[in-house]
Amino acid sequence: FRILKKKKTCFVRAVDFYCINTGLSLFFPTACLGMDVTVSSYINALNGTTVRISCIFTSCYKIDLTQFNMTWTYQESVNHTEEKFMMYSRKKGMVPLRSEQFEDRVTFNGNLDRNDLSFTLSNVKLEDEGIYNCYVNNPPDRITGHGIIQLNVVTKLPPPRDSTIAVAIGASVGGALALLILSMVVIKCLRRHQKQELISEEKMEEEGKLEAEGVAEEGTK
């Protein structure tokens, strides 16, 4: 922080803090996280289709188109050299570069106002598989942002999951469980009914004995 011998007030503004109690002013500069690039680390694309490869960045500063610099490069693997195929031009904006591999299949699909540097690659080929690098430089931010995307090209999509078997198994298990619960309820009801009948019979038998004993006592008198 810096110590300034000025003003005699205390106030807070954003994350800057000024305070003068003894004729001193403390100033803490606004914090900034710096350049940050957000990409998808892995992208799968179906051969012959169009794929969108995105790159979005955040910076401490707004884009100054007179100093802004951005480049897309491609390399077959980490051991191969990088080939530029798109870059920012102060006169034309984001423009594809001449490339034997991509020809005219690369189109800018982002929005500089939203810090979106994405592009689309049409008619994807097996040879397009590899590493795509997104480099961003936004002065006066001194850090150059770098995003790395691994593009995998497949010849067919994985088969959709067949849910019929799962539904059938679930229905069977559910039905068996319901039948088991129903059986347990029925058995419990039968047992309760049998218990009640047994209690009734015992009660009737005891009442009969008491009645017989009463008759015998009257006869002896």
- What is the CATH classification number for the domain harbouring 64? 2.60.40.10
Integer Cα distance of 131 and 73 in angstroms: 8
Is residue 47 a part of any domain in this protein? yes
- The pLDDT confidence band at residue 49, using thresholds 50, 70 and 90, is very high
At 95, list the tokens. Answer: 């423009």
Q: Please determine, for residue 26, whether its predicted confidence score (pLDDT) is greater than 70.
A: no
pLDDT at site 167: 60
Is residue 200 a part of any domain in this protein? no
Is residue 182 a part of any domain in this protein? no
Q: Could you tell me the pTM of the whole model? A: 0.59
Q: In terms of Cα–Cα distance, which of 73, 21, 218, 59 is closest to 139? A: 59
Range from 48-57, 188-197, 207-216 carrying the lowest mean pLDDT: 207-216
Question: What's the structural domain count of the chain?
Answer: 1
More confident residue, 157 or 123: 123
Is residue 53 a part of any domain in this protein? yes
Is residue 213 a part of any domain in this protein? no
Strand 42-46 vs strand 106-108: parallel, antiparallel, or unpaired? unpaired
Integer Cα distance of 168 and 3 in angstroms: 76
Residue 75, domain extent? 36-154
Q: Please determine, for residue 28, whether its predicted confidence score (pLDDT) is greater than 70.
A: no
For 42, list phi and psi in degrees, rounded to 5: -135, 135
pLDDT at site 182: 76
Is residue 15 a part of any domain in this protein? no
Is residue 79 a part of any domain in this protein? yes
Is residue 2 a part of any domain in this protein? no
pLDDT at site 52: 97
